[in-house]
């Protein structure tokens, strides 16, 4: 995924040229395109949006969605918020931990990465998880890995 050029990113950001209010959307577009926001993209966005690099960097660090390194093939979001706590998310999280996944660190193992998130809007069917955008209700390790194996295969 790292075979991008400054030109290809600029092409992609074309519609936002000179638009100071498009910093967030530019970051989102780059992440959509590449899976993450490489350091060099911050300069490209700054130039394209006509703002300082510091400003772009500030936006990049404020929002937890952005990543500075490529994600795993399968990204699992695991809900850590209250309704899922009430439905037993703690034991799910510790089982995942035993399998080598720390949702707080988001380490990558076997093409899978697990990350914590605060509420997925599936609070009546917790614990809730999401694998590359596909929701899993009443989540168990078995359900999660069945879903990840479909994307990592």
Binding residues for ligand FES, per CB under 6 A? 79, 81-84, 119-123, 126, 128
Q: Applying CB under 8 A, does 133 fall inside the site for other proteins?
A: yes
CA distance 114 to 21: 32
Q: Residue 57 has which token pair? A: 């960097």
- CA gap 129, 138 in Å, rounded: 8
- Look up residue 105 and give its DSSP letter: T
Question: Which of 2, 21, 54, 98 touches other proteins (CB under 8 A)?
Answer: 21
Other CB atoms within 10 Å distance of the CB of residue 129: 28
| Subset of residues 72 to 91 that bind other proteins, contact rule: CB under 8 A | 77, 81-87
Residue whose token pair is 């990350």: 115
Binding span for other proteins by CB under 8 A among 2-10, 35-43, 106-114, 115-123: 115-123
- Choosing among other proteins, ligand FES, none, which partner's interface includes residue 71 (Cβ < 5 to 8 Å by kind)? none
Closer by beta carbon to other proteins, 60 or else 101: 60
């Amino acid at each position: 995924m790292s075979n991008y050029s400054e030109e290809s990113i600029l092409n992609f950001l074309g519609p936002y040229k000179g638009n100071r209010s498009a910093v967030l959307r530019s970051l989102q577009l780059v992440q959509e395109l590449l899976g993450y926001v490489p350091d060099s993209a911050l300069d490209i966005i700054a130039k394209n949006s006509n703002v300082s690099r510091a400003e772009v960097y500030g936006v990049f660090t404020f929002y937890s969605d952005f990543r500075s390194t490529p994600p795993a093939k399968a990204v699992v979001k695991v809900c850590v918020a209250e309704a899922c706590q009430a439905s037993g998310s703690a034991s799910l999280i510790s089982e995942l931990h035993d399998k080598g996944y720390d949702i707080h660190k988001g380490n990558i193992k076997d093409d899978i990465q697990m990350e914590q998130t605060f509420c997925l809007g599936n609070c009546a069917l917790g614990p809730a998880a999401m694998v590359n955008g596909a929701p899993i209700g009443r989540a168990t390790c078995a359900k999660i890995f069945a879903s990840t194996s479909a994307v990592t295969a």
